[in-house]
Structure formats: C-alpha cells, structure tokens
Structure 1
Amino acid sequence: MILDIAREQVLERRIGLDEAQTLEVLRLPDERVDDALELAHEVRMRHCGPEVEVEGIVSIKTGGCPEDCHFCSQSGRFETPVRAVRLDIPSLVEAARETAATGATEFCIVAAVRGPDKRLMDQVREGVKAITDNVDINVACSLGILTREQGEELRDLGVHRYNHNLETARSHFGNVVTTHTWEERWETLQLVREMGMEVCCGGIIGMGESLEQRAELAAQFAALNPDEVPLNFLDPRPGTPFASLEPVPALDALRTIAAFRLALPRTILRFAGGRELTLGDLGARQGMVGGINAVIVGNYLTTLGRSPQEDLDLLAELSMPVKELSKTL
C-alpha cells in the first residue's frame, strides 16, 4: 500500500513521505525493492529531470582532527593509518582543473577540523581565489562548524555551496560523536542558509542505527530542506570504533536510496562514499535508475572510488546528461 500512497502523494502532489511513511518503505520485503526503485526513478525524473550533477572533492587538510567521529580515520584520537597532511595551493588548483575536465560543475574543498582556524581560513581564501581565477567550476567548502564571521567570509569569497553533514539521526548521534552535538551541526546549517549559500547536508548509513532512525534522519533532512543530500554508506575504517561493523547489505542500501528519494522528491540526492563497497557496479546502475541524480567522481577523502570515466560511461549509457555549469550559476 505504501507505494500506491507514494505514487499519488509524491509523484502527483509533490509531497514527500513523512517519517512513518518512509519507515514503511524501509521495511518493504526484498521482492518489492525493484518496485520502490522504479517509483523513485519516476519521482526523480518528473521533479528533478534527467540531468546528473557531477562533483569532485579534495582535502586541503587531512588527518589530525580533534573530534571523535567514530566512523572517521582522520580523527587524531584513533590509531589509524591516516597521517596529518596539508595540500598546497597549486595542487588544489590542479585537482580542480582535473575535476572540471570530467564535466563536473562542483569542486568541494574539505578539511578535517572541528571548525576552521585563522590559518585554515587564510588557506581557503587563497585556494578559492586561485581556483576561481583559473578554473571554470563552482567552488564548495566543507570546513566543519562555522562562526557567523566565517560564514560571511565564505559567502563573500563566492563559495557556492557549503557541506556539513548531520551524519545520522539526532537520536543516534551520541553513539557516533561525543565531542560536539547534533545541535551544533544544525546551527551551522541554518547559518549557511542565512548567508545565502546552498546547503549540502548528508549522512552515513550503516553506523548501527535502526530502520526507525534512518526514517528519522530522512525526516530531519526534509525539515532542513537542503539543496543537496550526499548519501554515504559506511566503509569501516581500520583503527576506528566502527572498524568491525559490517557493510550495509546491497538490498538495504537500495531500499534506503528509494526511501530517501520519496522523502525528498526535489533534492539533489548524491551517490557518495561507500557505494562501491556496498553496491558494486550493478548496484550503482540500480541506484542511478532508483532516485540518485548526482555523483562524486574519483576518490573520496580516505578511500578509493571508481574511476571518473566509469561513472561518465554509465551516465552516457543511461542517457543521463551531465549537468552543465551554466545551469548552476
């Protein structure tokens, strides 16, 4: 019954599923997953269109983070193989140029920090200017918790979009992070919107949360109404508290993709970290025809992704055009 309800409510009336309805989709039996994906694809095509937004990301500061996010090998609190390094500005510009060469419209500068200090803000200022002077691409940032002054500066630099993930449902957050609160993340996201930057806010599926908490997260995204939701699946990292967790089963991941599209009918829903481990090549195809309309190409911050050409070839095969830069300005 929930798919019949969703067809009328989401497809026809453009009203996303609420938390209880999203939970029903997450509980669908395996034999109904294809039906849910088909409906999610119809919703994506009607309300978002066939275009796919392509993005690359690069870390300007890797490792040594003081926070204890239990999924993250960049935390300085855990014994992981990741070591603290910083990227110089010429390398940052070259990474942006390589990203643009794939047809991507978005390039995100990421730093492993609680929030940016003066040194990092100086680097970001220099990096954003160098990229905008030399590469035809939108610049996004993901630098942690912001002050009002930092938000104003990023806006004035021309930062197009700011990423700050909620990561998981509010009721589960304390099991994932203890060094800052869910509310602090929410406040930064509200600040980003107030500054006039696009809001990018995602989560990670598979961190010990229940199906109820996945539905809760989808409802919290809907309340925030972000421009983009990157959907990550946990890739357990050696040395982290979540190293022993099992990857999300493929069918559960596909159910989640469909459920989040039906809860967020007009949002950019982006394939992000962990999709290769969880879904493989076949699952990636199913996700692209099951509600996803954006991808991160290339490698992630501490894990390897598919080659950009593989993703671009898949989009061409599915007749899904890459979104053009001129349409995002």
Structure 2
Amino acid sequence: MTAADERTELDRETGVDVLAAAREQVLERGVGLAEAQVLEVLRLPEDRIPELLALAHEVRMRWCGPEVEIEGIVSLKTGGCPEDCHFCSQSGQFPSPVRSAWLDIPGLVKAARETAATGASEFCIVAAVRGPDKRLLSQVRDGITAIRDDGNDIQIACSLGMLTQQQVDELVEMGVHRYNHNLETARSHFPSVVTTHSWEERWETLRMVHTAGMEVCCGGIIGMGETVEQRAEFAAQLADLDPHEVPMNFLIPQPGTPYEHLDVVDGKDALRTVAAFRLALPRTILRFAGGRELTLGDLGAEQGMLGGINAIIVGNYLTNLGRPAQQDLDMLTELNMPIKALSDTL
C-alpha cells in the first residue's frame, strides 16, 4: 500500500473530507491523489462540483501557472486503419463513412502555417495506422522539412501508432518534439475497446518514447462504457506513466462504429472527471480534446478551463468539426488566460 493509499484509509477512518485532504496533499504539497482518492472525488454529489472545480483550478494555477498551451492537429493519412478500436470511424473494419485518404505536403505546410497563426505552440501530424511504414515516415520527414523551409518554427508532434525502437530514433532525428500515443482507457477495460492489439503494446511504445527524450503525450476517451472505478484506475495509471501531457477526449458516438449508440457523457460528469484528473496529475498539461463541444458546449468549455484544464486543441479534429479557433482564443482572452506561445515572444 502506498503512502497516498494509507492516507485515503485514514481519511475514511477519521471522516476527513476528500477535498479537504486534497487541498493539503495536492494543492499544498503537489502530491497527486491515489486511485482510491480519485474514486472518492468521482463520486462527489453534484452540489459539490463547483467546490471541486475551484480546487482543481487552484491546483492548476499553483503547479502549472496561468498559461494555456494551444495545439492544432492534422491528419496526414486518414481512414483505412487495420485496427478495431471500437470508438474510431477511421477503422477499416467498420462501415463508417470515413474513407482512406492522404494529405499532400503543400496541404500539410498550409495547415501548419494556419495553426501557427492562432498562437499555437504545437502542431501534431496524425496518421490512422497500426504503426508507420517506410512510406509514412518518409512523408513525415518531407513534411517537417517543408514546414521548416516555409519559415515555420512551431514545435512538431506526431501520432503514428505503435513504434519500433528504430522508428523512435528516426523521429528523434527528424526533430519531433512530442509523441502522442493514447492508452485510451483503463487497463482492465481496454480488451473491451480494442482486440487487435494490447494495452501493453501501447505502453511499450510510450516507454521507448520517454527513454529517447521525446515528450510523452498520452490520454484517452471518457464515455466508452467504463465504470467510475475504471476512470479512477485510468487516472492512476496515467500518473504512473507521468506523461508531459494528457489529452482528455469525450466519446463522440461515430456512425458505423460499435459505439455509435452509446450516450454522450453528461456535462457534469465530464467536469467532475476533468477536475479529478487534475487532482491526480497536478503538474501535467491537461488538454481539452475531441468531444468537448458535444459534451460540454460553450459554457462547459469555460468551466473546464476554470476547473483544471490548461491546454486545448483549436479548430477541427481528425474526422469531426471543432469550434472555430477564434472562438477559443476569444474565450481565453475573456478568462484572462495568456497563450503560451504568445507569452514566450512578449
């Protein structure tokens, strides 16, 4: 039993409120909540959500600061993926309307230029594949070279599936700053979500990326039929991984996928989950990603930014529309939250 787990047992025995315990443990000492404590937070009643969000915001400000990191993403290779991730419209195994397509290099350069114009510090190149082949890695290399030749010094991230050690080394040599590879959900729930590869295979890619010196971006999707206990498990497993960034997605039930009939996550549950993850990961970049518009709407997005979030993806996602980038930038201005890339140049 860890010290945090022992503290949780003490909280139960003494009747110390979990948020009071979190204030001392997370806000004052910077020690993230353990799995059992996260579960207590996820079970808080609705009338305590404002208090929870306020504490999560304090934690974010204390350990991460006021700046918000902006990122844009683009799909270099869309659709036709051989894997059976049940949430994904890009799987070639499901009758979804998404079809296989490649983005050319001029299109990639244009997307990077438009992303940089928003004040974003990150531009992520994504491909729907099990892992990259030589053709894809060559496209990524040519794309990064073209982006740099365009005079764009934005940081480049990639999300290209599972990697070998040689591929990790190639990406480092290309100058890739950060690698995204989501664990998607708790280890205990993963076999219900994906059957064509394992949670452990994803973990091994993340281990190699971390060892190679690239920043690790790893999160998942809330609302894929997991229990509240599994959400707590997932938060604890991410804390064990200690990624630089955790993107938080909320399920968009995609037509043609096995999850097309699942319900959209309730907004209050989404905010409760965001705050709980912040208390589990006090020093991590916590990024709003896909599904926030559907789950939270405009008001919910602002509440999330004041409830632990300190990064967002602007513009559209891989196969779904997002909010216009300017709408998010205006929101940050209204909230007096400086954009990281802009702050670095002032």
Asked if 1:109 corresponds to 2:125, the answer is yes
Asked if 1:201 corresponds to 2:218, the answer is yes
Q: Tell me, which stretches of 5 or more residues in structure 2 are unaligned?
A: 1-16
Amino acid at match of 1:150: Q
Partners of 1:325 and 1:157 lie apart in 2 by 25
Amino acid at match of 1:16: G
Aligned to 1:38: 54
Amino acid at match of 2:51: D
Partners of 1:226 and 1:160 lie apart in 2 by 13
CA deviations over 1:69-119 (Å, ceiling 9, x no partner) = 000000000001000000000000000000000000000000000000111
Counterpart secondary structure, 1:324: helix
Asked if 1:249 corresponds to 2:252, the answer is no
The within-5 A match list for 1:139-288 is 139-288=156-305
Partners of 2:36 and 2:169 lie apart in 1 by 38
Aligned to 1:23: 39
CA RMSD of aligned residues (A): 1.0
CA deviations over 1:113-168 (Å, ceiling 9, x no partner) = 00001110110111111112321200000000000000000001100000000000
Counterpart secondary structure, 1:99: helix
1:8 to 4, 24, 48: 24
Aligned to 2:148: 132
Q: Which has the larger radius of gyration?
A: 2
Aligned to 1:77: 93
Partners of 1:159 and 1:312 lie apart in 2 by 26
CA deviations over 1:250-294 (Å, ceiling 9, x no partner) = 000000000000000000000000000000001000000000000
Alpha-carbon shift at residue 325 of structure 1 (Å)? 6.7
Partners of 2:130 and 2:84 lie apart in 1 by 10
Amino acid at match of 1:289: L
CA deviations over 1:41-90 (Å, ceiling 9, x no partner) = 00000100000000000000000000000000000000010000000000
Asked if 1:97 corresponds to 2:103, the answer is no
1:52 to 54, 61, 68: 68
Alpha-carbon shift at residue 327 of structure 1 (Å)? 4.9
TM-score in terms of structure 1 length? 0.99
Counterpart secondary structure, 2:77: strand
Amino acid at match of 1:95: A
Partners of 2:137 and 2:47 lie apart in 1 by 50
Partners of 2:344 and 2:177 lie apart in 1 by 13
Counterpart secondary structure, 1:162: strand
Q: Tell me, which stretches of 5 or more residues in structure 1 are unaligned?
A: none
Alpha-carbon shift at residue 326 of structure 1 (Å)? 8.3
Partners of 1:209 and 1:145 lie apart in 2 by 24
1:137–1:325 contact (8 Å) kept in structure 2 = no
Partners of 2:306 and 2:343 lie apart in 1 by 25
Aligned to 1:298: 315
Counterpart secondary structure, 1:226: coil
Partners of 2:76 and 2:28 lie apart in 1 by 43
Counterpart secondary structure, 1:33: helix
Partners of 1:117 and 1:33 lie apart in 2 by 46
Amino acid at match of 2:259: F
The count of corresponding residues between Structure 1 and Structure 2 is 328
Partners of 2:42 and 2:220 lie apart in 1 by 16
TM-score in terms of structure 2 length? 0.94
Q: Which runs of 4+ in 1 moved over 4 A?
A: 325-328
Partners of 2:238 and 2:147 lie apart in 1 by 30
Partners of 1:278 and 1:49 lie apart in 2 by 26
Counterpart secondary structure, 1:316: helix
Partners of 1:261 and 1:141 lie apart in 2 by 24
Partners of 2:128 and 2:88 lie apart in 1 by 10
